[in-house]
Chains A and B, each alone.
Chain A
Amino acid sequence: AQRVTQPEKLLSVFKGAPVELKCNYSYSGSPELFWYVQYSRQRLQLLLRHISRESIKGFTADLNKGETSFHLKKPFAQEEDSAMYYCALKRSASKIIFGSGTRLSIRP
């Protein structure tokens, strides 16, 4: 079955430390993957998508088809990165499915 797995419900790191939010997927074909973020009292919003291959707010994510992963990384965490992060997979032309989310907490 096509699914997205985020194994960590909560990730807590110190400010300035590297961050890696894990995302694994199962999909037959060429996947289209996204990271969405929900900051406190804000709307869920797109952070980045793999086809853009860009860095947003210092975050990057590389699609690894061999490991079926799309982990989100940032070399130096900032307090404003604290938020809920969702990995998402475009399952078909009309369906995007989400993982269960990881809450990232940055300690000062």
Chain B
Amino acid sequence: NAGVTQTPKFQVLKTGQSMTLQCAQDMNHEYMSWYRQDPGMGLRLIHYSVGAGITDQGEVPNGYNVSRSTTEDFPLRLLSAAPSQTSVYFCASSFSAGANVLTFGAGSRLTVL
């Protein structure tokens, strides 16, 4: 039982490049979400999903896309990376469709030059 797995752990991009941060969970959790962690700003919710095929925006969705084709996977796509997207990204999941106790991944550190 791996819990929440995020890949890659580290990534450096140039401005304008695209990439996908992967998130997978093996706990059959309904709810999955993406946060970004920035110094002095805590964790801010980017997007979330309450089940396969259902996604919605969080507090800071601009510049990011998500999809949820399976219960297990919730990838986060950056279509055209900007330096303001330099951050640590966390994927988190919860058993029920309503967000409750969150289980976090180890994080992905992204630097955009």
Given A9-B40, A93-B99, A98-B35; A45-B45 close (CB under 8 Å): no
Q: Contact: B42 with A45, CB < 8 Å?
A: no
Interface size class of B (residues with CB under 8 A): 20 to 34
Select from chain A the residue with minimum beta-carbon distance to B98: A93
Q: Which residues of A contact B59 (CB under 8 A)?
A: 97
Chain A contact surface mostly: strand
Chain B nearest Cβ from A84, distance in angstroms: 10
Q: Determine the distance from Cα of A79 to Cα of B107 in the docked complex, in whole angstroms.
A: 25
Q: Determine the distance from Cα of A99 to Cα of B59 in the docked complex, in whole angstroms.
A: 13
Q: Does B31 contact A (CB under 8 A)?
A: yes
Q: Does B56 contact A (CB under 8 A)?
A: yes
**Beyond A44-B104, A94-B99, A98-B44, 20 extra complex contacts between A and B, CB < 8 Å:** A34-B101, A43-B107, A45-B104, A86-B43, A90-B99, A90-B100, A93-B98, A93-B99, A94-B56, A94-B97, A95-B45, A95-B48, A96-B45, A96-B102, A97-B44, A98-B42, A98-B43, A99-B42, A100-B42, A101-B43
